[in-house]
């Protein structure tokens, strides 16, 4: 079974939690669902190391503290996806790889519609852990204006 790992980075806004998702590039993927930033492991790389590397390669962001969200298996391909959640670091995400053509923070409700249907379980797990206070709290964005 193919193993893949990625992150579900989140931030808190006045409208609730938003998560960072990516859209795969290429004509074949034009109508395909979005995904968490993810990819397959390199030799001797842990799943968390893979998730961190893939997130940086696809979004330009380096994740901070991460909490495992477990794994899901795609119902069609049987590929296993492992996810880790953490607060989004400072900085603006961007398409940092040819593998993605869009990178966006979206509200949870929109993510539920855009994400690959099998990956929506990660949103449920994120919310469960958030409500229990088991996730690192995102840092408030720094203000350019002195108080």
Sequence-distant (≥ 6) Cβ neighbours of residue 75 within 8 angstroms:
118
Q: What pLDDT, in 10s, does the model give residues 92-108?
A: 999 999 999 999 999 99
Question: In angstroms, rounded to a whole number, what is the distance separating the alpha carbons of residues 140 and 136?
Answer: 12
pTM of the model: 0.89
The class (CATH top level) of 3-131 is alpha beta
**Do 105 and 121 touch, CB atoms closer than 8 A?**
no
> Which is more confident, 13 or 111?
111
Strand ranges in the chain using DSSP code E only, listed in sequence order: 3-13, 16-24, 38-40, 67-73, 80-87, 100-107
Domain ranges across the chain: 3-131
Q: Which 3 state secondary structure label does DSSP give 120?
A: helix
């Amino acid at each position: 079974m193919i193993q893949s790992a990625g992150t579900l980075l989140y931030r808190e806004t006045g409208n609730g939690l938003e998560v960072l998702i990516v859209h795969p590039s290429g004509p074949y993927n034009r109508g395909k669902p979005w995904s968490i930033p993810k990819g397959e492991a390199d030799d001797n790389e842990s799943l968390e190391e893979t998730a961190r590397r893939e997130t940086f390669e696809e979004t330009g962001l380096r994740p901070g503290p991460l909490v495992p969200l477990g794994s899901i298996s795609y119902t069609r391909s049987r590929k296993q996806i492992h996810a880790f959640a953490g607060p989004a670091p400072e900085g603006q995400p961007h398409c940092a790889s040819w593998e993605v053509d869009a990178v966006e923070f979206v509200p949870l409700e929109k993510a539920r519609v855009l994400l690959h249907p099998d990956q929506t379980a990660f949103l449920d797990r994120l919310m469960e852990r958030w409500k229990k206070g088991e996730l690192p709290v995102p840092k408030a964005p720094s203000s350019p204006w002195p108080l």
